[in-house]
Amino acid sequence: MLCPPGSPWYIAPVSEEDPGAPDGRAARAERRRAQRREAILLAAKAVFRDKGYHQASVHDIIDEARIARGTFYLYFSGKQDLFGELVADFLEIVRTQVRRIELGPDAPPPRIQLRDNFRRIVTAVLEHAAIASIILRDSRGYDDESRARVDSFFGQTLQLMRQAIQVGQGLQLVGPCDVNVVSVVALGGLRHSLVRMLEAQAAGPADPDGPSFTNPEAVADELLEFFLRGVSVES
């Protein structure tokens, strides 16, 4: 028999929708932690963009995020740890822009699919300019741990380049070549072009060469055409 309300043995039912339920409190606490962590990452991107990695400090990030020092260390062990997460996140963003080339009867031509991959990558770099501008530039100012993270990023990106060239060869869009050499050349050209695009976007009308780099789709299309013309099968 159920005890009526008011009885010393009465236990009120707790629904999953009850905001006072333990599970509800835990979910809200988890959301707050995720939001605070994201706020720290956003603050770090702004600080790294404005000061560069070497000049930026944990104190700068704390000031930008408007949090206590102890709060920062609840989430990250230091600047290197935080930067490592930003690098990993950016690599994942780049990975998600590259789609497998489909060859079905309803699929667009492979060249169009390659173009769309390039466009997505260039657009993603522009959308994440704060961290992209740090990662894409010269890493000599980094400490050893952070330089290793950036080198690992470009090592994995180089592997994506190799795979893309091999796929292009299989589709007869790319002719015979030394995949290792060509992938290094392609990555170097892509990296420098993306840095130039970010600089042009930041400078605006003050950049005399800006018009060539302010349209991300045009930049992507020119890069693809250059790479394919450089290694394409002669007709």
**Which CATH number do you get for residue 66?**
1.10.10.60
| pLDDT tens column, 157-166 | 899 889 888 9
Tokens of 28: 């809200």
Instruction: Give the pLDDT band of residue 2 (cuts 50, 70, 90).
Output: very low
- Measured distance CA(195)–CA(30) in Å, rounded: 37
User: Does the residue 200 lie in any domain?
Assistant: yes
Is pLDDT of 20 > 60? no
Is pLDDT of 41 > 90? yes
User: Does the residue 1 lie in any domain?
Assistant: no
Final residue of a structural domain among 30, 47, 76:
76
DSSP state letters, 126-164: HHTHHHHHHHHS--TTS-HHHHHHHHHHHHHHHHHHHHH
Q: Looking at the 3D structure of the chain, how many domains does it have?
A: 2
Q: How much is the pLDDT for 138?
A: 65
Same domain, residue pair 194 and 136: yes
For 144-147, the CB contacts below 8 A with 24+ separation are 145/80, 145/84, 146/53, 146/80, 146/83, 146/84
Same domain, residue pair 68 and 155: no
Q: How much is the pLDDT for 234?
A: 60
Alpha helix stretches (DSSP H) within the chain: 22-55, 58-65, 69-75, 79-97, 110-127, 129-136, 144-170, 179-203, 216-231
CATH of residue 113: 1.10.357.10
- Measured distance CA(138)–CA(132) in Å, rounded: 12
| Structural domain containing residue 29 | 21-76
User: Does the residue 53 lie in any domain?
Assistant: yes
